[in-house]
Structure 1
């Protein structure tokens, strides 16, 4: 059974590590705090495939990293990080448009195109495949786009904000790493939450003031973070076998739900209110309805091997799964 946390209990149970991380003791030359850390959680390794993957599988041996749904498209990063392949979401068997890039490792949608980040660069990819590149001040790990702002999480524990011209405007430090960035809007307020895998920590950040809100533990091995249209922040924790939900400002934990197969890839279908979660240890993807505020399973399917990355086409609801083991790109119609 999921852990059902009322608001007062959640405030007591969710471990508030710090309010304003500036007081975390001496840091290194990058401003990272001297705090206890864990080994950043990676996807649990897959077992051998025992079931035939559902849907259609397109051969894509050179792909294997981030997967993102765009405007009628699906984009994936090559295993070596040196290109982004853009597929037609309705007909992914058609040859994709391949855009050469500097090394990148994270990707997000940006209107009709995409933005990618890597160790040295940020790349904006337009709908026609043209790309604009700029150097980064710090090695990028994660990226989100909100209006005219590009928000980049870095290896050195900083959140960078860039404008549409790819010029840096803000730099907020004080984390060990920033592995994921998610933005929510509610009641006319923007809320930015970041995931630090080295501390298994979620924290609200206000780049304009440099302020950092209360930081909450996300178990002992948080791996991924996304948001939903209710303004909740959803975390997959493979190490503990849990799916966690956070909400509010300050954040509180709203649920902690067991998902034993190594939950990692997350994708949210806003039209159908379904959260899709890949279980990398068992090569499976499961759907959860979150409309009541607590996960309720609504089905699933057998996936390609090592399903680290998943995405949902917002128009059709088709679920895409990218094998990190080179076994292809899977499409399951809904």
Structure 2
């Protein structure tokens, strides 16, 4: 039996044993134990105040900024948590153009296309909202997408896969309506990445990755990866980078849909936020324990090269790339909230 399959069987047996131990006769519908009874999930390090001044420009973003995406037009969308909303920001100046109020708070954001709409999974109201980057209009609002939906990505066939963090598994959405769900699988699904028609999902409780086919709405692969994962970002139609937050590394995996490791990059400092610049073939990783951004050259994904690190704002939980200029935008979640804009010329090469 191949070594990876042996590990996968071991992980599955461990999950079955843990579920059985949480209550007699538990079914797959009951994989979501109370938060207090769950194994601890991978989390970013609580960062102290920076000891080195962040490079680039820093502007205040009040309200506890978290997830960030930037469209081809240069408009950035930032999830803010208090009050809950999505701020539309000029990615060059950091000026907030508009704030779209939401009925719940989001942590992750993703783009359904190169210039939106923005997929906004609202953790506190169990909804998926699509927001236009151009004018802030709500394109669609879908309820019943699980308990505390954490991330959402659109696969190439148009199906949106939403990770059901507190319910386990995923929910499938098409044209603003729920069309299916799979409650089995990852006990606490977190970050997701779309690779062609597949969505690769990380389990933040352990080291599992689950792969779903958006066209058939089926689970098509699962396997152990790293120590404890959080975020994921697609590098191509068959490659995904995962932040192994507890393992201090970034792992590049090939999804065919079977999962195979292509490369590992050491990223000490609780790696968390991820962003990919396909035009300049760079991968960006926030190191939350040290208030740094790691820059990785992925021109050859099989042999990634660390280009260097740069100092960031406090608690750099999320990062995005402005696709036209190559500027990098980082949200600082502590203490009052900030946005750091690093122009391409300031990045290590």
Q: Same fold (TM over 0.5)?
A: yes
What is the TM-score of this pair, normalised by structure 2?
A: 0.83
Which of 193, 214, 223 is equivalent to 2:200? Answer: 193
Q: Is the 8 A contact 2:87 2:97 kept in 1?
A: yes
Alignment partner of 1:236: what SS? strand
> Does residue 118 of structure 1 match 2:122?
yes
Pair 193,18 (structure 1): closer, same or farther in 2 beyond 3 Å:
farther
> C-alpha displacement at 1:152, in angstroms?
0.7
Pair 15,198 (structure 1): closer, same or farther in 2 beyond 3 Å:
farther
Q: Is the 8 A contact 1:172 1:207 kept in 2?
A: no
Which digits, 9 at most, give the CA deviation of each residue in 1:201-245, with x for residues without a partner?
112122554543442222222121111025211111221211111
**Which of the pair has the greater relative contact order for Cα pairs under 8 Å at 6+ separation?**
1
Q: Look up the match of 1:242.
A: 249
Distance 1:104 1:268 in 2: 25
Q: CA RMSD in A?
A: 2.7
> C-alpha displacement at 1:179, in angstroms?
1.0
Which digits, 9 at most, give the CA deviation of each residue in 1:141-171, with x for residues without a partner?
111123532211112112111112x111121
Distance 1:208 1:248 in 2: 16
Q: Look up the match of 1:7.
A: none
Q: Is the 8 A contact 1:152 1:159 kept in 2?
A: yes
Which of 84, 87, 104 is equivalent to 1:85? Answer: 87
Q: Look up the match of 1:130.
A: 137
Q: Look up the match of 1:269.
A: 277
> C-alpha displacement at 1:45, in angstroms?
1.7
> C-alpha displacement at 1:192, in angstroms?
2.1
Distance 2:269 2:337 in 1: 19
Q: Which runs of structure 2 are paired with 1:62-73 in the superposition (5 Å)?
A: 62-71=63-72, 72-73=74-75
Once the two structures are overlaid, the 10-residue window that deviates more, 322-331 or 212-221, is: 212-221
Count of paired positions: 318
Once the two structures are overlaid, the 10-residue window that deviates more, 171-180 or 276-285, is: 171-180
- Unaligned segments of structure 1, at least 5 residues: 1-10
Once the two structures are overlaid, the 10-residue window that deviates more, 201-210 or 82-91, is: 201-210
Q: Is the 8 A contact 1:65 1:309 kept in 2?
A: yes
Alignment partner of 2:29: what SS? coil
- Unaligned segments of structure 2, at least 5 residues: 21-25, 345-349
Which of 306, 310, 313 is equivalent to 1:304? Answer: 313
More helix by share: 2
Q: Look up the match of 2:229.
A: 222
Q: Which runs of structure 2 are paired with 1:1-334 in the superposition (5 Å)?
A: 12=3, 16-18=7-9, 24=16, 27-28=26-27, 30-32=29-31, 38-71=39-72, 72-80=74-82, 82-92=84-94, 94-105=95-106, 106-111=108-113, 112-119=116-123, 120-126=126-132, 127-131=134-138, 132-139=140-147, 140-147=149-156, 148-154=158-164, 155-164=166-175, 166-174=176-184, 175-185=186-196, 190-229=197-236, 231-249=238-256, 250-292=258-300, 293-325=302-334, 326-334=336-344
Distance 1:195 1:258 in 2: 19
Alignment partner of 2:3: what SS? helix
